[in-house]
Amino acid sequence: MLILGIDPGLNITGYGLIDAKKTGFAVIASGFIKTNARDGMPKRLAKIHGGLNQVLERYRPEALVLEKLYSHTKHPITAALLGHARGVICMLAEEKNIPFFEYPATRVKKITTGSGHASKIQVAKMVEHTLGSKRDAFGPMDTTDAISLALTHAYITRVKI
């Protein structure tokens, strides 16, 4: 099963595509889309849309996974801005007729590392360990976060794989 995890962000949107089989996992593609903070919101969202659209067209994943939106009371604007990027991604999933899933960050971290409050570095190290590759092979932590989302979905639905 091809599963695409996406770590949305206005500055950097990371993605990781895995092939999940009963015998294990393989990273098929990973990378990120970087936007320029000086560009307006429409241009930044268009860049995210275009980049992810290329990934979806090329690989045709069977599932798309995002982290469930969480808003901290100290950073409501961050959540609102993140919602723009998430909206573009949700729209792409619908346009391409790809089943969409989302999981809370604490669940993803718990499944990936054993601790629901793990740091990004701990998540990256467990992704490395699980896949037998160094994090540098995947790109920035936005990418390893995306891969951890895909792995989480694979673990949750492993009965069907």
- The residues assigned a catalytic role are 7, 67, 142
Pair 147, 155: CB distance under 8 Å: no
Distance CA 123, CA 110 (A): 10
Q: For residue 113, which of 99, 100, 101, 127 has the smallest C-alpha distance?
A: 127
- ∠ CA(83), CA(86), CA(88), 5° rounding? 115
- ∠ CA(49), CA(54), CA(60), 5° rounding? 110
Neighbouring CB atoms inside 10 A of 71's CB total 13
